[in-house]
Every structure is written in C-alpha cells, then in structure tokens.
C-alpha cells in the first residue's frame, strides 16, 4: 500500500505482489481517515486472500508522522502484520524515470510508492523509539535555529557592507556580533567615527569592552582608518539601512537567546537517558548538544549492522565510479540519507579535532592532502573516522580512553613469556583485541 500525503488528504494505492492494482481511493488526513484506511485494507485482505501488508510513504515534512504511528500500532491491522516504511523521495523519483509515459498526480505518486515497495531492497521498517523521540525533536529544532541564525548573520553583514564597507575588511573585532561591536555600530555612523577624537573613541571601546582590549588606542585607530576608507553612502539611504541593520540585529539576539534556552533543555533531556546510551559524551569535544544530536539520530545502535551502516545512514560514503580498466580518482560524497545525522557528525568532528590530539593530527594529515576545499574535505573525512569510534563506544558501553591509556592497558595485558609459556597464544590474542 502506497500513501501519498498532504496536509489535508491521503491518497492510497494498493498492489498485489504480481503488480495488479486492487484499489485506489483518498481519505482525509486525520484519525477518522486513518481508521477508514485500516478498515478498508482489512476488507481487501479478506477479498484477495493476503495476510501481510507493506505500507510505504515518503518521509517529507511531518505529514507522515501520525499516519505512520497509527497504522503501525492500530489493533485493526494486527492480523496483517503491517510493516511501515518511510522512503527517501529519491528512491521513488528514480523509479519514475523508468515510466516516462506517466504524469504527476497524487494517484500516480501513490502508485509509484506502492510499486517501490513491491520491488524490494527497502530500508529498515519504521520504528518509533519513545526513548529518543523527544530529544530528536529538540535537536532537529536546534539545527533549524542554528541555520536560521547563520542566514540572518550573513544578511546583516551584506547590508553592513553598504553602510560601512571597510569594516569587514579590517575586522576590528574578533566577533562582529559581539557586544562592543554591536554597540559601536548602533551608536556611531561612519562620519561620526571619523570625527570622534581618538582618545574618546578608545575610552568608549575600553569601557564597553570591560577592559579586555589590550590596546584600545590601536583598535580605535583601526576603526577610524576603516571609516575613512569606506565608500560614502547617500543621506537618503542612511535611515533605511539603520532600520534594517537594527531590526536584523534584534532578530539575531533573539535567536541567540533561543539557542541558549534550547541547549539547556537538550542538556537536561540528555541526562535523562541511561549512561550507556550517552557514553559518547566521554569523547573530548563532544558537549551535550553534539552528543544529543548524534544519540537522537542514531537511536538504538543495535538496529544498525555496523559502523558502515551509520556512515551510509548519514550519507558519509563515496560510491565507486569504475568502468572496464578506468577507475575514477575523484568520487563525490553521496549526501543521501539522514541530513540531521550528517550535520551533527560534521559539527561534532569539528569540535573533537580541536580537543583531541589524535583527531587533530588526522585532520591536519587530510588537510594537506586535499588539493581543493581542503577544510571541508578534511572535516568530512574526520567525521567518517569519528563514526567508527562512536559505533564502538555505543556497542560496548565503554567510555572513551586516550591512546596513551589504551597503550598502557596493552602493556599490562602483555604475556609473561618466562613464567606462563603455555598461555602465550591466548594472551597474545587478548592483547591484539584490546
């Protein structure tokens, strides 16, 4: 049974294993509509003699959530042993290309979803794990906030160039969105910066920076030089740009406060998980936010076969490109699967490589090997290495140990050849595994 979902309607298509279409209809996307679908499916099962059903839908937006949970757990379908699949839209769109004579309607889309189920080679069936579901909602919302904040900051910097073009070139502050920088841009125009006495401007910076600037005079001199080097803007644009920058900055500050609140809630929610489910928190650089994002998206580690399955789920795989004797040296990353897991893996890798010497060394090794996009490539490869560590810790329930500590354990486990020759082989095997 293929379901094409929208906010108000569910379009259904039911196929037998031989490809025969046995029914098509539509229901309202609410609980009575879901119950009607289940009851009608039971009637079709009695009429056509099937005792199992696969139910598929595309995992777009959140229109699938309620219907997937209902059809998986409703007593109405217990006898049919329903398996619910959330399909990546790419799996369905690729199939559509083989049917070039078809158009695009909800009924046709429901047919292709059902046809994709019939072909097989499907992902794991949908399982709602209530242990991780609340944390997953929070971490995905946090990802949305972070990306929105980044977009607003870029928007602000674009209009700041119009008002103060040389500000971004000289970078007088480490963080253009810091308290001192924001106060200065709000209180001074470019002309006012030029006309303000150097000592007075330095005193202003020292006061707003709470004495953290080593040389306020030099920083004030840099600001005045940037003001003199900037393009002059017509008076008619001064007021609109001031309004735009002020409103955008207010939005940025609001988003920053919201991020802090969400981060605090995520940390509390993470503490509610059993320790062995959040054991990766022991990796240097993995704070509560990155840990929560990874744990929420991976879920129960035992539902995945191995570390390669985690990498494939996140899209951190490079598919081979080979034909005859030709073997491509440059292959692209798949970027399919769970975008949230990929986001948190890469962000986590960026944090770990700054706090863990082992990963910092690996990152720099890959950095010098990359001919272009060096940072991005090195970071993605570091994330792929991190997948192996995360998989090991979650499966074993063991805390992270530094390479030095692991080496020390190997030395302790090393066999005593003089006194215990009979156990040399077994002890050597244990040491190798350790």
Q: Are residues 337 and 383 in the same domain?
A: yes
Q: Are residues 292 and 236 in the same domain?
A: no
* DSSP labels, 67-93: HHHHHHH-GGGGGG--EEEEE-HHHHH
Domain boundary among 249, 267, 285: 267
Q: How far apart are CA 326 and CA 219, in angstroms?
A: 57
Domain boundary among 267, 294, 324: 267
Q: Are residues 319 and 281 in the same domain?
A: yes
The answer to whether residue 425 scores a pLDDT higher than 50 is: no
Query: Tokens standing for 181?
Result: 């920088």
Calculate the alpha carbon distances from 398 to 342, 385, 393, 394, 408 in Å.
Answer: 24, 18, 5, 7, 16
Query: Tokens standing for 83?
Result: 């398996």
The answer to whether residue 325 scores a pLDDT higher than 90 is: no
More confident residue, 124 or 9: 9
User: HSE-up of 417 (CA within 13 Å, CB side)?
Assistant: 1
Q: Are residues 315 and 232 in the same domain?
A: no
Q: How far apart are CA 280 and CA 378, in angstroms?
A: 22
CB 293, CB 348: distance < 8 Å: yes
Q: Is residue 126 part of a domain?
A: no
Structure confidence at residue 318 as a pLDDT band (50, 70, 90): confident
Q: How far apart are CA 110 and CA 20, in angstroms?
A: 14
Q: How far apart are CA 337 and CA 311, in angstroms?
A: 9
Q: Are residues 10 and 107 in the same domain?
A: yes
Residue 38: closest CA among 59, 12, 20: 12
Q: How far apart are CA 46 and CA 48, in angstroms?
A: 6
Span between the terminal Cα atoms of the chain, in Å: 49
The answer to whether residue 380 scores a pLDDT higher than 60 is: yes
Q: What is the mean pLDDT of the chain?
A: 88
The answer to whether residue 335 scores a pLDDT higher than 90 is: no
Q: Are residues 315 and 341 in the same domain?
A: yes
Task: State the Cα angle at 259 between 254 and 264, rounded to 5°.
Answer: 130
Domain boundary among 85, 119, 153: 119
Q: How many CB atoms lie within 10 A of CB 75?
A: 7
Q: How far apart are CA 298 and CA 73, in angstroms?
A: 22
Domain of 47, in residue numbers? 2-119
Residues 161-180: tens digit of each pLDDT: 998 999 988 888 988 999 89
Burial (Cβ within 10 Å: 0-12, 13-18, ≥19) of residue 172: buried
Residues 386-401: tens digit of each pLDDT: 999 999 999 999 999 8
Residues 253-302: tens digit of each pLDDT: 999 999 999 999 999 999 999 998 999 999 999 999 999 999 999 999 98
Q: Is residue 310 part of a domain?
A: yes
Q: Are residues 115 and 189 in the same domain?
A: no
Q: How many domains does the chain contain in total?
A: 3
Q: Is residue 124 part of a domain?
A: no
């Amino acid at each position: 049974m293929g379901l094409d979902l929208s906010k108000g309607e569910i379009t259904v298509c039911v196929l037998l294993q031989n490809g025969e279409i046995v029914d098509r209809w539509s229901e309202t996307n609410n609980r009575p509509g879901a119950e009607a679908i289940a009851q009608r499916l039971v009637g079709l099962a009695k009429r056509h003699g099937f005792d199992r059903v696969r139910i598929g839908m595309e995992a777009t937006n959140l229109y699938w959530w309620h219907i997937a949970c209902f059809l998986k757990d409703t007593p109405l379908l217990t006898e049919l042993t329903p398996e619910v699949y959330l399909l990546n839209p790419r799996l369905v769109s690729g199939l559509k290309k083989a049917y070039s004579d078809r158009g695009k309607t909800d009924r046709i889309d429901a047919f292709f979803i059902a046809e994709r189920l019939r072909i097989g080679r499907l992902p794991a069936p949908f399982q709602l794990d209530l242990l991780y579901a609340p944390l997953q909602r929070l971490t995905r919302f946090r990802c949305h906030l972070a990306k929105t904040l980044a977009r607003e900051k870029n928007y602000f910097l674009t209009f700041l160039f119009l008002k103060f073009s040389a500000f971004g070139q000289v970078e007088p502050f480490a963080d253009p969105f810091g308290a001192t920088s924001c106060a200065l841009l709000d209180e001074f125009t470019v002309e006012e910066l030029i006309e303000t006495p150097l000592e007075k401007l330095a005193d202003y910076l020292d006061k707003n920076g709470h004495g953290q600037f080593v040389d306020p005079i030099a920083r004030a001199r840099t600001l005045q030089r940037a003001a003199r080097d900037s393009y002059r803007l017509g008076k008619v644009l001064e007021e609109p740009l001031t309004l735009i920058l002020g409103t955008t900055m207010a939005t940025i500050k609001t988003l920053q406060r919201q991020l802090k609140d969400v981060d605090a809630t995520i940390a509390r929610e993470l503490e509610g998980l059993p320790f062995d489910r959040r054991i990766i928190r022991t990796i240097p650089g993995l704070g509560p936010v990155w840990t929560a994002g990874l744990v929420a998206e991976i879920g129960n580690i035992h539902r995945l076969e191995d570390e390669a399955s985690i990498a494939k789920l996140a899209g951190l795989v490079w598919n081979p490109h080979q034909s005859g004797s030709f073997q491509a040296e440059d292959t692209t990353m798949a970027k399919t699967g769970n975008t949230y897991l990929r986001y948190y893996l890469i962000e986590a890798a960026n944090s770990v490589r700054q706090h863990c010497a082992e990963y910092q060394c690996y990152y720099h090794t890959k950095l010098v090997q990359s001919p272009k996009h060096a940072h991005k490539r090195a970071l993605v490869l570091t994330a792929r290495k991190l997948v192996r560590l995360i998989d090991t810790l979650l499966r074993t329930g063991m805390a992270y140990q530094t390479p030095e500590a692991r080496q020390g354990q190997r030395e302790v486990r090393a066999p005593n050849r003089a006194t215990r020759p009979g156990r040399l082989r077994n002890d050597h095997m244990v040491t190798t595994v350790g």
